[in-house]
Amino acid sequence: MRKRFIISSTILVAIVLWFIPTSFAEGEHVSRFGEYSGYSAPIYNGYERVSQYVTVQEGTAHETRLAVDLLMPTLDGRRFSDLGHKLPVIWAHVPYHRANKFPNGFVLNWLMMSEPWALELMNYGYVVALVDIRGTGASYGVKNTMWSENESKDAYDITEWLAAQDWSTGKVGMFGYSYLGTDQYFTAAEAPPSLKCIFPRQANFDTYDFFYQNGAFLANSLGAWDMLTTLLDLNLIPDLPTAPVDEDPDGSLLAAAIAEHSANINPLETFGPSSSPYRDSVDPHTGEQLHYTRSVSSHIDEINQSGVAIYHWGKWLDHWTRDTLYAYANMTVPQKLAMTPGFHHQIDVPLLLVEHLRWYDYWLKGIDNGIMNEAPIHYAVINAPEEQKFQSARVWPPLVSIKTRLFFNKGTSGTVNSVNDGRLTLVPSFPQASDEYTVDYTATSGPPTRWSTAAEPPGSPVGYPDMTPNDEKGLTYTTDALPDDVQAVGTPVIKMWVTSTYPDGNFIAYLEDIDEAGFSNYVTEGAIKASDRALSDAPFDTLGAPWHRGYAEDQQNLPSGEPAELVFDMLPVSYIFQKGHHIRITVVGADQSTYPDAGLNPAPVVHVYRDLQKRSRLELPVKVTPLR
């Protein structure tokens, strides 16, 4: 599978670059979201790759050497510096091999695999640097946790080293998504003087709120990530052999670096339930409260004080959708936000090229292209007409929206053969009643899911299956056919009263769109572990969403026989439920694709209550103004 992926990625790069416009500078001056011409022109037509080791944290106990690739723009084979030019630099801190070198000598660099837009951006006059994080790739050192303090300090040194090179203008930016996106926030918190802007995409904001979705542990996601990084760090994936630097022709330096990686402490060891099950847990490996020290949410003040400009970029079917919005909501530096369609690894090459180029031209080259004068937010609306696919806004969530309460009610909707086939209505249930459900441990929302695809390589299958078979294993609440389109934008919230014959357990809710053919389309989801239900005031802006502190002392079992309220957010949405469709909430107690559970015997029997006092419901933010 890996070999097929490598070949297809290389072909993909060639195809996408063929379709990218080769001149942004002809004609009138245009600079708006997704469009750019007249301000910047491609002046180079190739690049040369050179690599070397750079010493970081020199003279300290944490001194080590990092492998650095420099991709230097060329014109007809001549390097830009030989032409007397100086250029700004953008760089990425890579944990998954900055480059792979194969026995035939072919080098597959990180851009070819994951950032093909940057291959064209170099032609506009930018040096690209790719750096193996300590403990990974060809870099020396040990990685003792994700986004460690050492990584951040290394990034400071690399930024200033790039700025100090005689071919550099001294202005530096960063790029990259996923782990690399989060790394940019931590680098900004270190405030390197030469770092002018970053462009984090699909990045993490708070580790506890991710790994423990309101207390529900994302075992499959963290486990897959742990396995991938372990194999990569030890160079044990034959189809992805990490590349040595130029000064290491016999590979001896690479072998010595990889030997040091054997002391790495990997994600599952530090963030898993054996070490960090609660937000205030102290990891025994590092002695840190990792959910604080390694969360961007704990470094908001430092980032804001740095003044580094930030272009936050998220996706509606990413696993870090909420994180992107929270990052934007809590930053006060010059910033922009884009929320785009698709899953974690899906890449819109032309759009990313345009927006990166506009951003870097403004902050690294001083080109006054107006990017900071336009609306700061652009967001995709799923199911909108193509010409209205992207909307702009000054604030998030966009004005004007109302919180629409849709109550769990008695059946039958006649749309699904679920345990109860209940209805979702604008009026609460009456009289007092409940729906009984025995947890079915075979329930699953995938694969693939938004969680599983994030741990797979680019090009892996994406897209949810028909959710109906999963719906049939749980409780469902479905609206009548919608008389008009309903545009949901923001964070849906579930408020649900429950009892269980077991004192704890996961409760998972899916928001779905049922079309005219009966196909149940996944829209979003939320989950909570019942014992983590205590609500708290968040130390950062959650955009009005409920928040669970998740301390060890906050945990409490469900009271026996007495209903308890579970209040939890679903991942944010921007979605049109079309006229004639149905909105559905499905509630289950397990999802083997996301929260694997060996199960209890006998399985817990759950009751979900619905009456005038215990008004179990979905609170859906609905935009009341039409698309513009």
Q: Is residue 199 part of a domain?
A: yes
> Which residues touch 517 (CB under 8 Å, ≥6 apart)?
none
Host domain of residue 595? 401-623
Query: CA-to-CA distance for 244 and 107, rounded, in angstroms?
Result: 10
pLDDT in tens, 213-245: 999 999 988 888 899 999 999 999 999 999 999
Are 236 and 345 members of one domain? yes
- The three-state DSSP-derived secondary structure of 386-427 is HHHCEEEECCCCCCCEEEEEEEEECCCCCCCCCCCCEEEECC
151, part of any domain: yes
In a domain, 317, yes or no: yes
In a domain, 393, yes or no: no
Residue 283 and residue 246 in one domain: yes
Q: Are 139 and 64 in contact (CB under 8 A)?
A: yes
- Give dist(CA 168, CA 158) in Å, integer: 13
Residues 418-464: pLDDT tens digits?
A: 999 999 999 998 888 999 999 999 999 998 999 988 877 777 888 99
What is the average pLDDT value for the chain, to the nearest integer? 93
Q: Where does a domain end: 327, 356, 374? A: 374
Write the DSSP symbol of residue 135.
T
Q: With a cut of 70, say whether residue 323 has pLDDT above it.
A: yes
User: Based on the domain organization, do 325 and 418 belong to the same domain?
Assistant: no
582 or 2: which carries more pLDDT confidence? 582
Number of domains comprising the chain: 2
- 533 and 581 part of one domain: yes
Whether residue 385 lies inside any domain: the answer is no
- Rounded distance between C-alpha atoms, residue 590 and residue 343, angstroms: 23
Q: What is the pLDDT of residue 45?
A: 97
Assign residue 190 the CATH number of its domain. 3.40.50.1820
Structural domain includes residue 24: yes
Instruction: Quickly count: other Cβ atoms within 10 Å of residue 4's Cβ.
Output: 10
Q: What is the pLDDT of residues 281-298, one digit of tens each?
A: 999 999 999 999 999 999
Measure the CA–CA gap between 72 and 50, rounded to whole angstroms. 8
Residues 515, 477 share a domain: yes
pLDDT digits 0-9 by tens, 79-122: 999 999 999 999 999 999 999 999 999 999 999 989 999 999 99
Distance CA 215, CA 534 (A): 10
The CATH number of residue 467's host domain is 2.60.120.260
Kindly report the pTM of this predicted structure: 0.94
Instruction: Kindly state the tokens that stand for 363.
Output: 């902050």
369 and 409, same domain (yes or no): no
Instruction: For strands 30-32 and 35-37, give the pairing.
Output: antiparallel
| Residues in a beta bridge with 564 | 498
* All residues at 6 or more sequence positions from 81 whose CB lies less than 8 Å from its CB, including other chains: 72, 166, 167
Going from the C-alpha of 188 to that of each of 115, 118, 467, the distances in angstroms are 21, 21, 41
Q: Does residue 394 belong to any structural domain of this protein?
A: no
Would you say residue 17 has pLDDT above 80?
no
Same domain, 115 and 260: yes
pLDDT digits (tens, 9 = 90+) for 240-266: 999 999 999 999 999 999 999 999 999
Nearest Cα residue to 491 out of 314, 298, 320, 325 = 325
**Both 598 and 509 in a single domain?**
yes
Q: Are 244 and 101 in contact (CB under 8 A)?
A: yes
Burial of 400 (0-12, 13-18, 19+ CB in 10 A): exposed
d(CA 231, CA 221): 16
Tens of pLDDT along 366-394? 999 999 999 999 999 999 999 999 999 99
315, 411: one domain: no
Nearest Cα residue to 213 out of 608, 475, 532: 532
In a domain, residue 142? The reply is: yes
